[in-house]
Amino acid sequence: MTTEGAKIEQGIAKGAVWFCAGLTVAILVLIVAFVFWQGLPYLRPSFFYEGPIRMGKEGGVFPFIVATAYITVIAVLVAAPLGVGTAIYLTEYTRPSRLTAVIRFGADCLAGVPSIIFGLFGFVFFVIRLKLGWSVLSGGLTLALMVLPTVIRTSEEAIRVVPRAYRDVAFGLGSTRWQMVTRVVLPSAMPGILTGIILSIGRSVSETAAVMFTAGVSLKVPILPLQSGRTLALHFYILFREGISNTNAYKTATVLILAILLINFTAYWLMRRFIAKLS
Protein backbone atom coordinates (compact mmCIF):
# COMPACT_ATOMS: atom_id res chain seq x y z
CA MET A 1 0.00 0.00 0.00
CA THR A 2 1.24 3.48 -0.78
CA THR A 3 1.97 5.96 1.96
CA GLU A 4 -0.86 8.09 0.62
CA GLY A 5 -3.27 5.15 0.86
CA ALA A 6 -2.20 4.37 4.39
CA LYS A 7 -2.73 7.99 5.32
CA ILE A 8 -6.28 8.02 3.98
CA GLU A 9 -6.98 4.71 5.71
CA GLN A 10 -5.67 6.15 8.95
CA GLY A 11 -7.91 9.19 8.54
CA ILE A 12 -11.01 7.08 7.95
CA ALA A 13 -10.22 4.76 10.87
CA LYS A 14 -9.71 7.68 13.19
CA GLY A 15 -12.99 9.20 12.09
CA ALA A 16 -14.82 5.90 12.57
CA VAL A 17 -13.61 5.25 16.13
CA TRP A 18 -14.29 8.86 17.05
CA PHE A 19 -17.79 8.46 15.71
CA CYS A 20 -18.36 5.28 17.76
CA ALA A 21 -17.12 6.83 20.96
CA GLY A 22 -18.98 10.06 20.30
CA LEU A 23 -22.27 8.31 19.58
CA THR A 24 -21.99 6.21 22.73
CA VAL A 25 -21.43 9.24 24.91
CA ALA A 26 -24.15 11.17 23.10
CA ILE A 27 -26.76 8.46 23.70
CA LEU A 28 -25.81 8.28 27.36
CA VAL A 29 -26.00 12.03 27.78
CA LEU A 30 -29.29 12.15 25.90
CA ILE A 31 -30.96 9.62 28.21
CA VAL A 32 -29.72 11.24 31.39
CA ALA A 33 -30.50 14.72 30.08
CA PHE A 34 -34.03 13.70 29.12
CA VAL A 35 -34.78 12.31 32.59
CA PHE A 36 -33.20 15.29 34.29
CA TRP A 37 -35.07 17.70 32.03
CA GLN A 38 -38.38 16.10 33.00
CA GLY A 39 -37.57 15.68 36.67
CA LEU A 40 -34.92 18.05 37.95
CA PRO A 41 -36.88 21.37 37.67
CA TYR A 42 -39.63 20.01 39.94
CA LEU A 43 -37.34 18.33 42.43
CA ARG A 44 -37.50 19.91 45.91
CA PRO A 45 -35.49 18.86 48.98
CA SER A 46 -38.74 17.72 50.62
CA PHE A 47 -39.01 15.01 47.93
CA PHE A 48 -36.02 13.31 49.53
CA TYR A 49 -37.18 13.30 53.15
CA GLU A 50 -40.97 13.10 52.91
CA GLY A 51 -43.10 10.02 52.64
CA PRO A 52 -45.52 9.48 49.74
CA ILE A 53 -49.05 10.87 49.90
CA ARG A 54 -51.94 9.32 47.94
CA MET A 55 -49.87 6.40 46.60
CA GLY A 56 -47.10 8.75 45.48
CA LYS A 57 -49.18 11.25 43.55
CA GLU A 58 -47.82 13.76 46.04
CA GLY A 59 -45.17 13.75 48.71
CA GLY A 60 -41.68 12.27 48.51
CA VAL A 61 -39.76 9.04 48.20
CA PHE A 62 -37.97 8.78 51.56
CA PRO A 63 -39.20 5.21 52.34
CA PHE A 64 -38.10 4.05 48.90
CA ILE A 65 -34.62 5.50 49.31
CA VAL A 66 -34.32 3.62 52.59
CA ALA A 67 -35.66 0.39 51.06
CA THR A 68 -33.29 0.65 48.08
CA ALA A 69 -30.30 1.18 50.35
CA TYR A 70 -31.43 -1.58 52.69
CA ILE A 71 -31.88 -4.15 49.92
CA THR A 72 -28.63 -3.18 48.20
CA VAL A 73 -26.64 -3.44 51.42
CA ILE A 74 -28.06 -6.90 52.12
CA ALA A 75 -27.33 -7.99 48.54
CA VAL A 76 -23.72 -6.78 48.68
CA LEU A 77 -23.09 -8.13 52.18
CA VAL A 78 -24.14 -11.57 50.97
CA ALA A 79 -22.79 -11.55 47.41
CA ALA A 80 -19.37 -9.97 48.05
CA PRO A 81 -17.95 -12.51 50.54
CA LEU A 82 -19.58 -15.42 48.70
CA GLY A 83 -18.38 -14.25 45.29
CA VAL A 84 -14.86 -13.30 46.35
CA GLY A 85 -14.58 -16.56 48.28
CA THR A 86 -15.60 -18.54 45.21
CA ALA A 87 -13.10 -16.60 43.09
CA ILE A 88 -10.32 -17.35 45.58
CA TYR A 89 -11.26 -21.02 45.54
CA LEU A 90 -11.26 -21.13 41.74
CA THR A 91 -7.92 -19.36 41.34
CA GLU A 92 -5.85 -20.33 44.35
CA TYR A 93 -7.20 -23.54 45.81
CA THR A 94 -7.89 -25.71 42.79
CA ARG A 95 -6.25 -26.49 39.55
CA PRO A 96 -8.32 -26.21 36.39
CA SER A 97 -10.54 -29.27 36.29
CA ARG A 98 -13.99 -30.39 35.27
CA LEU A 99 -15.38 -29.01 38.53
CA THR A 100 -13.96 -25.52 38.03
CA ALA A 101 -15.15 -25.54 34.43
CA VAL A 102 -18.66 -26.41 35.64
CA ILE A 103 -18.59 -23.65 38.26
CA ARG A 104 -17.43 -21.09 35.69
CA PHE A 105 -19.95 -22.22 33.11
CA GLY A 106 -22.66 -22.09 35.76
CA ALA A 107 -21.67 -18.58 36.75
CA ASP A 108 -21.72 -17.43 33.12
CA CYS A 109 -25.15 -18.94 32.54
CA LEU A 110 -26.46 -17.41 35.73
CA ALA A 111 -25.23 -14.02 34.55
CA GLY A 112 -27.40 -14.30 31.45
CA VAL A 113 -30.62 -15.29 33.21
CA PRO A 114 -33.25 -12.52 33.00
CA SER A 115 -33.83 -10.78 36.30
CA ILE A 116 -37.54 -11.57 36.26
CA ILE A 117 -36.59 -15.26 36.55
CA PHE A 118 -34.51 -14.44 39.62
CA GLY A 119 -37.57 -12.62 40.91
CA LEU A 120 -39.72 -15.68 40.36
CA PHE A 121 -37.17 -17.94 42.03
CA GLY A 122 -36.83 -15.53 44.94
CA PHE A 123 -40.60 -15.50 45.32
CA VAL A 124 -40.92 -19.27 45.32
CA PHE A 125 -37.84 -19.95 47.46
CA PHE A 126 -37.33 -17.05 49.86
CA VAL A 127 -40.84 -15.62 50.12
CA ILE A 128 -42.87 -18.85 50.16
CA ARG A 129 -40.56 -21.74 50.98
CA LEU A 130 -38.37 -20.08 53.60
CA LYS A 131 -41.40 -18.06 54.75
CA LEU A 132 -39.47 -14.79 54.67
CA GLY A 133 -42.48 -13.12 53.10
CA TRP A 134 -42.35 -9.99 51.00
CA SER A 135 -39.42 -8.35 52.73
CA VAL A 136 -36.23 -6.44 52.16
CA LEU A 137 -34.42 -9.61 53.23
CA SER A 138 -36.08 -11.68 50.47
CA GLY A 139 -35.33 -8.90 47.99
CA GLY A 140 -31.72 -8.55 49.14
CA LEU A 141 -31.06 -12.28 48.96
CA THR A 142 -32.60 -12.50 45.50
CA LEU A 143 -30.43 -9.65 44.26
CA ALA A 144 -27.41 -11.27 45.88
CA LEU A 145 -27.99 -14.36 43.73
CA MET A 146 -28.46 -12.18 40.70
CA VAL A 147 -25.17 -10.24 41.06
CA LEU A 148 -23.14 -13.20 42.33
CA PRO A 149 -21.83 -14.22 38.87
CA THR A 150 -20.60 -10.68 38.22
CA VAL A 151 -18.73 -10.61 41.52
CA ILE A 152 -17.22 -14.04 40.90
CA ARG A 153 -16.02 -13.37 37.38
CA THR A 154 -14.63 -9.88 37.98
CA SER A 155 -12.88 -10.99 41.19
CA GLU A 156 -11.48 -14.04 39.47
CA GLU A 157 -10.11 -11.91 36.65
CA ALA A 158 -8.59 -9.45 39.13
CA ILE A 159 -6.98 -12.24 41.14
CA ARG A 160 -5.69 -13.99 38.05
CA VAL A 161 -3.70 -10.98 36.86
CA VAL A 162 -1.79 -10.67 40.15
CA PRO A 163 1.75 -11.59 39.07
CA ARG A 164 2.79 -15.14 39.82
CA ALA A 165 6.03 -13.70 41.16
CA TYR A 166 4.12 -12.17 44.09
CA ARG A 167 2.87 -15.62 45.02
CA ASP A 168 6.38 -17.09 44.72
CA VAL A 169 7.74 -14.38 46.99
CA ALA A 170 5.04 -14.95 49.58
CA PHE A 171 5.57 -18.72 49.53
CA GLY A 172 9.35 -18.26 49.52
CA LEU A 173 9.10 -16.25 52.72
CA GLY A 174 7.13 -18.99 54.42
CA SER A 175 3.52 -17.96 53.82
CA THR A 176 0.80 -20.50 54.09
CA ARG A 177 -1.59 -20.41 51.14
CA TRP A 178 -4.11 -18.42 53.12
CA GLN A 179 -1.49 -15.89 54.25
CA MET A 180 -0.39 -15.57 50.64
CA VAL A 181 -3.99 -14.88 49.60
CA THR A 182 -4.80 -12.36 52.32
CA ARG A 183 -1.51 -10.49 52.45
CA VAL A 184 -0.40 -10.42 48.86
CA VAL A 185 -3.06 -11.47 46.37
CA LEU A 186 -6.16 -9.75 47.75
CA PRO A 187 -4.52 -6.35 48.36
CA SER A 188 -3.16 -6.38 44.80
CA ALA A 189 -6.46 -7.50 43.33
CA MET A 190 -8.58 -5.13 45.41
CA PRO A 191 -9.18 -2.46 42.74
CA GLY A 192 -10.50 -5.09 40.33
CA ILE A 193 -12.60 -6.77 42.98
CA LEU A 194 -14.07 -3.42 44.02
CA THR A 195 -14.95 -2.66 40.41
CA GLY A 196 -17.04 -5.82 40.32
CA ILE A 197 -18.73 -4.93 43.60
CA ILE A 198 -19.49 -1.41 42.37
CA LEU A 199 -21.07 -2.84 39.22
CA SER A 200 -23.14 -5.08 41.46
CA ILE A 201 -24.25 -2.17 43.62
CA GLY A 202 -25.32 -0.33 40.48
CA ARG A 203 -27.34 -3.30 39.26
CA SER A 204 -28.93 -3.84 42.67
CA VAL A 205 -29.95 -0.22 43.03
CA SER A 206 -31.59 -0.10 39.63
CA GLU A 207 -33.17 -3.57 39.58
CA THR A 208 -36.93 -3.69 39.27
CA ALA A 209 -38.23 -7.07 38.20
CA ALA A 210 -36.34 -9.15 40.73
CA VAL A 211 -37.56 -7.13 43.70
CA MET A 212 -41.15 -6.76 42.55
CA PHE A 213 -42.05 -10.31 43.61
CA THR A 214 -39.73 -10.49 46.58
CA ALA A 215 -39.50 -7.18 48.43
CA GLY A 216 -43.08 -6.13 47.90
CA VAL A 217 -44.54 -2.72 47.28
CA SER A 218 -45.06 -1.34 50.79
CA LEU A 219 -45.19 2.44 51.13
CA LYS A 220 -43.70 2.36 54.63
CA VAL A 221 -40.09 2.72 55.75
CA PRO A 222 -38.71 -0.78 56.32
CA ILE A 223 -37.06 -1.00 59.74
CA LEU A 224 -36.65 -4.75 60.29
CA PRO A 225 -35.26 -7.09 57.62
CA LEU A 226 -38.54 -8.98 57.46
CA GLN A 227 -40.57 -5.90 56.61
CA SER A 228 -41.56 -5.13 53.07
CA GLY A 229 -40.09 -2.17 51.21
CA ARG A 230 -40.45 -0.66 47.77
CA THR A 231 -37.31 0.31 45.87
CA LEU A 232 -36.95 3.54 43.89
CA ALA A 233 -36.88 1.73 40.58
CA LEU A 234 -40.05 -0.20 41.44
CA HIS A 235 -41.75 2.97 42.65
CA PHE A 236 -40.90 4.62 39.36
CA TYR A 237 -42.35 1.67 37.49
CA ILE A 238 -45.57 1.72 39.51
CA LEU A 239 -46.05 5.49 39.19
CA PHE A 240 -45.74 5.19 35.43
CA ARG A 241 -47.57 1.93 34.92
CA GLU A 242 -50.56 2.85 37.04
CA GLY A 243 -50.58 6.39 35.69
CA ILE A 244 -50.35 7.83 39.18
CA SER A 245 -48.06 10.74 38.39
CA ASN A 246 -45.67 11.17 35.52
CA THR A 247 -43.98 14.17 37.13
CA ASN A 248 -43.26 12.24 40.28
CA ALA A 249 -42.09 9.28 38.19
CA TYR A 250 -39.47 11.46 36.51
CA LYS A 251 -38.51 12.98 39.82
CA THR A 252 -38.01 9.47 41.19
CA ALA A 253 -35.96 8.53 38.15
CA THR A 254 -33.84 11.65 38.69
CA VAL A 255 -33.20 10.64 42.30
CA LEU A 256 -32.28 7.14 41.12
CA ILE A 257 -29.78 8.40 38.56
CA LEU A 258 -28.32 10.87 41.06
CA ALA A 259 -27.89 8.02 43.54
CA ILE A 260 -26.07 5.86 41.01
CA LEU A 261 -23.83 8.74 39.96
CA LEU A 262 -23.05 9.44 43.61
CA ILE A 263 -22.21 5.79 44.29
CA ASN A 264 -19.95 5.55 41.26
CA PHE A 265 -18.12 8.80 41.92
CA THR A 266 -17.49 7.92 45.56
CA ALA A 267 -16.39 4.41 44.68
CA TYR A 268 -13.93 5.53 42.02
CA TRP A 269 -12.63 8.29 44.26
CA LEU A 270 -12.04 5.77 47.05
CA MET A 271 -10.40 3.38 44.63
CA ARG A 272 -8.04 6.03 43.27
CA ARG A 273 -6.97 6.89 46.80
CA PHE A 274 -6.48 3.22 47.51
CA ILE A 275 -4.31 2.72 44.41
CA ALA A 276 -2.34 5.90 45.09
CA LYS A 277 -1.53 4.59 48.54
CA LEU A 278 -0.09 1.41 47.06
CA SER A 279 2.06 2.74 44.24
Partner 1 sequence: MEARLRAENFSVFLHGAPILRNINLSLHLNEILGIIGPAGSGKSTFLRCLNRLNDLIPGMTHRGSIWFDSMDIYGPGVNVTELRRRIGMVYAVPVALPTTVLANVVFGPRLQGLRDPTRLREIAESSLKAAFLWDEVKDRLDDSALRLSGGQQQRLCIARAIALEPAALLLDEPCSGLDVVSTAKIEETLSVLKSRYPTILVTNNVKQASRVSDRTAFFLMGELVECDETRKFFTTPSDKRANDYVTGRFG
Contacting positions for partner 1 (CB under 8 A):
95, 163, 165-166, 168-176, 179, 183-184, 187-188, 278-279
* Residue with Cβ nearer partner 1 (29 or 169): 169
Q: Which of 237, 254, 275 is nearest to 119 (CA)?
A: 237
Q: Which of 230, 231, 228, 232 is nearest to 134 (CA)?
A: 228
Q: Is 224 exposed, middle or buried (0-12, 13-18, 19+ CB in 10 A)?
A: exposed
Least Å from the CB of residue 271 to partner 1: 14
51 DSSP 8-state letter: P
* Residue with Cβ nearer partner 1 (88 or 141): 88
Least Å from the CB of residue 184 to partner 1: 6
* Residue with Cβ nearer partner 1 (84 or 184): 184
Cα-to-chain-centroid distance, residue 178: 28
**278/60 Cα distance (integer angstroms):** 43
* Residue with Cβ nearer partner 1 (77 or 169): 169
**Radius of gyration of the chain from Cα atoms?**
23
Least Å from the CB of residue 186 to partner 1: 12
**64/221 Cα distance (integer angstroms):** 7
Least Å from the CB of residue 96 to partner 1: 9
Tell me if 197 sits within 8 A of 152, measured CB to CB.
no
Q: Please report which helix (H) or strand (E) contains residue 58, including its range.
A: strand 58-59
* Residue with Cβ nearer partner 1 (1 or 278): 278
* Residue with Cβ nearer partner 1 (175 or 208): 175
Least Å from the CB of residue 169 to partner 1: 5
Least Å from the CB of residue 75 to partner 1: 30
Judged by phi (left if over 0) then psi (alpha if -120 to 50, else beta), residue 38 lies in alpha
